[in-house]
Structure 1
């Protein structure tokens, strides 16, 4: 099992990061990708990955919420980080028109700049898209032929959007959102439409704790050690063997990020 989305730099993990990583190992997780969401956290993610060599890797990027922070200095930081062996993708980058914490045009500019950087460096991209599919694809598609692939992290879109992403050559990241009996049912119905060789799994910890876990963790904080629950549920809903799905999605991850 490989967790492609862990926000290990989050302050929610400030007191027990080492224990979080150990619990993931003990639960059978074989790899973690630590998400970088701005220049500072991308640097922190790279350091954390270096402290857990062979088990953790990281991304370097600017989340759309932080797009207003994009600058030549930020780009230089990401370029420097990309030279480190722990960093295997550019991102988290993309568009988020749900909250517009950064203005849409700032988001679009920072997104395209990161795609250009990934194309230049021949890196895959770790992507974010929320309530922005048309604009997202309009920016991404012209760049895809130049990129070393990519994953749309925490996919929660429609069947039409899923097919667009698959046609563009993207991998699909599925989180514990799919375990939510209120808002995850539409996503659950899409699981059989994702080809086995394009599926990746993630917790997005400390966020998106699966709502169907019993007993529920007292802290209500998600952790990568809960990835086996997501794997088991996704396998059940896809009608597949849990062990096979765990192995195949881990293989997909290592192929995409060239681990």
Structure 2
């Protein structure tokens, strides 16, 4: 702790572990079981408690509540954990809860995530890398969010829902079904509205790979046959395409929620 800079108005528990270059601003409260890795900054008025670990280079802004007791009536005080990755930015008044015995005892947020003001990540959620949550996004308990997912403002995601990598969720959406990787979902209740083509292009995915993914999307969400049959057809037809295989594996995996489907047709343009 000798290298950390702690404002005199901050309260840091005797058992807290502070890495090199940590900065703790005015009126922050850091619990006994908290671990802050190198160059973590708590700007001011941050309250962080529980068995919480914050990765190197992350920055937490005023009035964020991190690692406090989950909002789950089944929680009985078990020593569950919250792990936040490196270089994350957690903005004002965001709330992030640790896990519970009923969900694996862990809430985890990957590297390079941006969690904007007043967003919420509930108990036992698993968040990938490079995820962006705009203001007032709510991720319910036990959700699994893949890498590079973007949530527009005021989205809410139902408990136990999965959102695949590189998906985009439009603002003010209520998501109560699993969103395929590379998909785009909008609405209350949300429906699948196509592929996240803008995101794929911005991340410089190969043009031909995007074309194959669009063809597979049209096949999977066509009106003929059952979803299982169409997924089997896409699995075979695009067996050497990793993007399509991401989608079909996601659909085939066991889940507590249904797959989100297109509401009107299957156009991806």
| Common fold by TM > 0.5 | no
Using structure 2 for the length normalisation, give the TM-score. 0.24
Kindly indicate whether structure 1 or structure 2 has the higher relative contact order, using CA contacts under 8 Å at least 6 residues apart.
1
Higher helix proportion, which one? 1
